[in-house]
Amino acid sequence: MAQPLVVVQNNFVTRLTEPMALAAHANGVALHDVSSGEHAGTNPLPSGDWAPILVIGSVLFVHQWARDDARLTPWVFWDDDQYDAVVWAEMMGRRYLNADGYETTIGRLQRDLRHARHIRPRSGIKMVGDKVRTEDQAGQTSIPGLVVTPETVGTYGIDPETRVWASVPQDILAEVRVWMIGGRAVAGSTYRIAGEHARHAGHPYVDECMQVAWHDHQRWHPDRHYVVDLALTGEGWRIVEYNPIHSSGWYAADPGTVLRAFMAAEEKRLQQGGEDR
C-alpha cells in the first residue's frame, strides 16, 4: 500500500523547507531530504511505494531536478505556460493587477521608456537573463515586480533580449498569499500592509482573500494546486501573481494545514483513477 511522502531540499531553510519538514514530522508523514548539491540519481528516493508525494524546495531544484526525476514528475504541479503574465491578463482580465501591460524586451525599454514601468519576466520560473530570484536570495536584481525608470532600466545588467511584461505601477494597500489546494482555499497569510512587512494568518484580510481566491478559481486556475498573491487596491482585491506550491514561502500560514489538504486531495484523486488536473 502506497504511503505519503514529503520531499524537501535542505530541511533548514526557515522560510520554506524547515516548516514543512516539521509539519511532516508532526503529521506522521515520511520525510526525504535532498541537499542542495545533489541531483537526480545521487540521492534516490527511499525504496517503497510512495504516493502522494509533496515536493518542496527552491525554484531550480523543483523545476530542473524534480521534474526530471521519473518518480517525482507526476507530483510536480508546474506548467510554465500557465505562470506567465500574458496568460493571466488574457484569462483574468482586470482581475489581474497588471492587465494593462504589454510584452516587450529590456532592450526596447532601454530605447523607448519615458515613464516608470513595473516589469516581470515572461519566464515561468521567474528568471531574468541568467539569474533566478527566490525570496531567500536577497539582493538579486531579477525580482519579479521590479519597477524601472528611464534612468534605472539599463543599470541592472539584464540581457537586453530578455522578454518581460511591462505595465504601469499600481498603488497597493495590502498583500495576502492564499494556498489553493484541489480547488479549495485552505490557508493564507498577509505579508505586507501599508507598505510594511506584516505576516499574520489571523488577519481579517486573510479570510476575505480566501473567498476572493475561491471565486477567481472558478474562472481560471493554473493547476490543481497553486498559490495566489492578492493585492488590495482602490478597485478592491486584485491578483498580483500566481506561483507553484513547491517554492512559495509560508509567511505566517500553517504548512501543516497545506500538507494535510494536499495529501487528502491527491489521495481522493488517486482513488478516483487519477483524473486530469
Instruction: Give the pLDDT mean for 151-163.
Output: 85
Q: What is the pLDDT of residue 136?
A: 38
Please give the DSSP secondary-structure letter assigned to residue 145: T
Dihedral sign of CA atoms 200, 202, 204, 210 in order = positive
State mean pLDDT over 91-115. Answer: 95
Does pLDDT of 129 surpass 80?
Answer: no
Q: Name which residue leads in pLDDT, 165 or 132.
A: 165
What percentage of the chain reaches a pLDDT higher than 90? 69
Q: What percent of the chain has pLDDT over 70?
A: 87
Contact 67, 125 (CB under 8 A): no
The dihedral formed by the CA atoms of 84, 90, 91 and 97, expressed in degrees to the nearest 10: 70
DSSP secondary structure code for residue 144 in this structure: T
Q: 266: closest CA among 47, 49, 24, 54?
A: 54
Domain ranges (residues) in the chain:
3-76, 98-167, 171-265
Contact 52, 4 (CB under 8 A): yes
* CA atoms of 211 and 204, how far apart (whole Å): 11
* Cell 482573500 belongs to residue: 209
HSE, side-chain direction, 13 A CA sphere, residue 64: 11
The one-letter amino acid at 84: D
Q: What is the pLDDT of residue 273?
A: 85
Residue 1: band (very low, low, confident or very high) from pLDDT cuts 50, 70, 90: confident
Query: What are 170's three cell numbers?
Result: 499600481
Contact status, residue 233 vs residue 225, Cβ threshold 8 Å: no
Helix (H, G, I), strand (E, B) or coil at 67: helix
196-229, pLDDT tens digit by residue?
A: 999 999 999 999 999 999 999 999 999 999 999 9
Looking at domain 171-265, its CATH architecture is: 2-Layer Sandwich (3.30)
Where residue 124 falls among pLDDT bands split at 50, 70, 90? Answer: low
Q: How far is CA 118 from CA 9, 69, 106, in A?
A: 32, 36, 12
Average pLDDT of the residues of the chain = 88
